[in-house]
Structure 1
Amino acid sequence: MGKKGDLSNFERGMVVGARRAGLKWSEKGKPSSMRQSCGRKRLVDVRADRRSTLTQITTCYNQGMQQSICEATTHTTLRRMGYTNWKNVAWSDESRFLLRHSDGRVRIWRKQNENMDPSCLLTTGQAGGGGVMVWEMFSWHTLGPLVPIGHRLNATAYLSIASDHVHPFMTTMYPSSDGYFQQDNAPCHKAQIISNWFLEHDNEFTVLKWPPQSPDINPIEHLWDVVERELCALDVHPTSLHQLQDAILSIWANISRECFQHLVESMPRRIKAVLKAKGGQTRY
Structure 2
Amino acid sequence: GRVARRKPFLTKKNIQAWLNFAKTHLKSPKSMWGKVLWCDETKVELFGHNSKIYVWRKNITAYHQKEHHTTVKHGGGSIMLWGCFSSSGTGAFVKVEGIIYSSKYQSILAQNLQASARKLNMRRNFIFQHDNNPKPTSKSTKE
Q: Which TM bucket (shorter chain)?
A: 0.5 to 0.7
Specify the structure having the higher radius of gyration (Cα). Answer: 1
Deviation track 1:226-275 (CA, whole Å, cap 9, x = no partner) reads: xxxxxxxxxxxxxxxxxxxxxxxxxxxxxxxxxxxxxxxxxxxxxxxxxx
Please report the TM-score for the alignment, with normalisation by the length of structure 1.
0.31
Which runs of at least 4 in structure 1 moved beyond 3 Å after TM superposition?
A: 102-107
**1:174 and 2:119 equivalent?**
no
**1:83 and 2:31 equivalent?**
no
Higher strand share: 2
Gaps of 5+ in 2: 1-23, 55-73
Gaps of 5+ in 1: 1-78, 108-126, 197-284
3-state DSSP class of the match of 1:151? coil
Look up the match of 2:43. Answer: 96
Q: Superposition pairs for residues 218-237 of structure 1, below 5 Å?
A: none
How far is the alpha carbon of 1:149 from its aligned partner? 0.5
3-state DSSP class of the match of 1:185? coil
CA distance in 1, matches of 2:51, 2:105: 30
3-state DSSP class of the match of 1:184? coil
Q: Is the 8 A contact 2:91 2:117 kept in 1?
A: no
Structure of higher RCO (CA pairs closer than 8 Å, 6+ residues apart): 2
Please report the TM-score for the alignment, with normalisation by the length of structure 2.
0.58
Question: What is the number of equivalent residue pairs in this alignment?
Answer: 98
How far is the alpha carbon of 1:189 from its aligned partner? 1.0
Q: Superposition pairs for residues 108-257 of structure 1, below 5 Å?
A: 128-170=75-117, 173-175=121-123, 177-196=124-143
Q: 1:100 to 1:134 in 2, by over 3 A?
A: same
Q: In angstroms, what is the RMSD of aligned CA positions?
A: 2.8
